[in-house]
Amino acid sequence: MNLPILNTLASLVQDQKVAVPSDPTAEGTYWFPVQASTLAEKSDWTFYYIYWVSAFFTALIVAAMVFMAIRYRYRKGVWEGEASPGHSWTLEITWSIIPFLLTIVMWWSGFKSYMYSDTVPPDAYTIQVTAQQWSWEFEYPNGAKTYKELHLPVDTDVTFVMKSKDVIHGFWIPAFRVKKDVVPGRYTKTWAHPTMEGQYTLFCTEYCGTNHSQMMVQVTVEDQDSFDKWVAAQADPSAGLTDVEYGKQIWSQQCIACHSNDGSVVIGPSWKGTWGTEREFEDGSSAIMDENYILNSIVDPNSQLVKGYPPAMPPYKDLSQDQVDGLIAYIKSLGN
């Protein structure tokens, strides 16, 4: 479908650049977070166009209303309005045609920016996104997986191929103006071309249950070199880390939702000060918190359930030996 007249009309107005800041150091405007993708400029233009049209008509209507309420206010004994035409085709056609023309511009420029965001570039860098209640998983082409953060290279087309393990989620990065639902049973795709290095937030926007509001992840846009280094390090997550650091990293991604490191109880027991102590179990037996106990608790958690806690933990059989070592080292470091 090609409507050149509309295209010209939209681009005519579009060239006039309505108050959209393009300063890269800007912190966002009154209405928007910073524009950090190529889509942002396009979609914001349409927003500001509608905004000014709306502001103008709101002012016009309210001014006319106030003026007439005062000018034609009731005066004692005036029981009926003055005679005036009951309708006027000239007026009525005018105020049908003008809104019609104004809306065509917003309709068309909105469609153009929508098509831009919906047309995924074929050779873009691809990140697999998996959503579940209530976390995100990002898998990069080199096999690296991250959970608590998403890194993107600046000035590069990035495609997100998304699926959900349970209910519908929504993938939204306001600074990019990118949003797409993540639907179980099918793949959905969206893409972005980040234009500015910085830290942004990714939100879940389709209501998905109890902790919907906690499905937020930090997005870091960085230069290609830093990104390459980072993504390589994620593929070999223990590189350059001590066992304790590695263990803490795994904890912060996969265990933190139930096990604290400071003594507070979330769902399962805290790890603080447990190393080497005697643990009492629901069935009355007990064991010392050592390497073998930790290994067993990871692969078969309910066989030695600590007294007073629910059998809520699923077995984590796909952790590598390095990862288990890391967790043991980390728990050890939390003292006894």
Partner 1 sequence: MDTHHNDHGSDHGDGSNYLNATSGIWSWMFTIDHKRIGVMYTFGTIGAMMLGGLFALLVRLNLWVPDGVFDNNTYNQFFTLHGAVMVFLFVIPGIPGALGNFVLPLMLGAKDVAFPKINLLSLWLWAIGALFFVAVLVTGGIDTGWTFYTPYSVTNDSSMVFAVLGAFILGFSSIFTGLNFIVTVHRMRPKGMGWFNMPLFVWGIYSTAVIQVLATPVLGITLLMLAVEKMAGLGIFDPSLGGDAVLFQHFFWFYSHPAVYIMILPAMAIISELMATFSRKKVFGYTLVAYSSIAIAAFGFLVWGHHMFTSGQSAWAGLVFSTLTFSISIPSAIKVFNWLSTMYKGSVRLDTPMWYALAFLWMFTIGGLTGMFLGTMGTDVHLHDTYFVVSHFHYVMVGSIMFAFFGGLHYWWPKMFGKMYNEFMGKLGAVLIFLGFNVTFFPQFVMGSRGMPRRYANYLPEFQELHQVSTVGAFILGIGVAVGVWTLFSSIFLGKKAPDNPWGGTSMEWETATPPIEHNFHDTPSVKPVYDFSPLVYNEATGNWDRIAEESGDNHG
Q: Hey, which residues between 18 and 77 contact partner 1 (CB under 8 A)?
A: 28, 30-33, 42-43, 46-47, 50-51, 53-54, 57-58, 61-62, 64-65, 68-69, 72-75
Of the two residues 152 and 204, which places its CB atom closer to partner 1 in the complex?
204
Q: Per CB under 8 A, which of residues 183..202 are in contact with partner 1?
A: 183-186, 188, 201
Euclidean distance between CA atoms 71 and 278, whole angstroms: 87
In the chain, the amino acid numbered 15 is D
> Whole-number minimum distance, CB 212 to partner 1, in Å?
6
Q: Per CB under 8 A, which of residues 76..105 are in contact with partner 1?
A: 78-84, 86-88, 91-92, 95-96, 99-100, 103-104
Q: Which residues of 30-47 are buried (b: 16+ CB within 10 A; e: fewer)?
A: eebbbbbbbbbebbbbbb
Draw the binding track, 102-141, toward partner 1 (x: CB under 8 A; -: no contact): -xx-xx-xxxxxxx-xx-----------------------
Other C-beta atoms lying within 10 Å of the C-beta of residue 138: 22
Euclidean distance between CA atoms 174 and 155, whole angstroms: 17
> Whole-number minimum distance, CB 39 to partner 1, in Å?
8
Euclidean distance between CA atoms 259 and 2, whole angstroms: 58
Peptide bond into 134 cis (omega under 30): yes
H helix or E strand, kind and range, residue 43? helix 38-71
What's phi and psi for 215, nearest 5 deg?
A: -85, 60
Of the two residues 86 and 122, which places its CB atom closer to partner 1 in the complex?
86
Query: Is 336 an interacting residue with respect to partner 1 (CB under 8 A)?
Result: no
What's phi and psi for 240, nearest 5 deg?
A: 75, 0
For residue 182, with 0-12 CB atoms within 10 Å meaning exposed, 13-18 middle and 19 or more buried, which class applies?
A: buried
Q: Which of 2, 22, 90, 210 binds partner 1 (CB under 8 A)?
A: 210
Size of the site for partner 1 (CB under 8 A): 85
Query: Is 209 an interacting residue with respect to partner 1 (CB under 8 A)?
Result: yes
Of the two residues 69 and 299, which places its CB atom closer to partner 1 in the complex?
69
Of the two residues 239 and 267, which places its CB atom closer to partner 1 in the complex?
267
Of the two residues 67 and 288, which places its CB atom closer to partner 1 in the complex?
67
Q: Per CB under 8 A, which of residues 296..315 are in contact with partner 1?
A: none
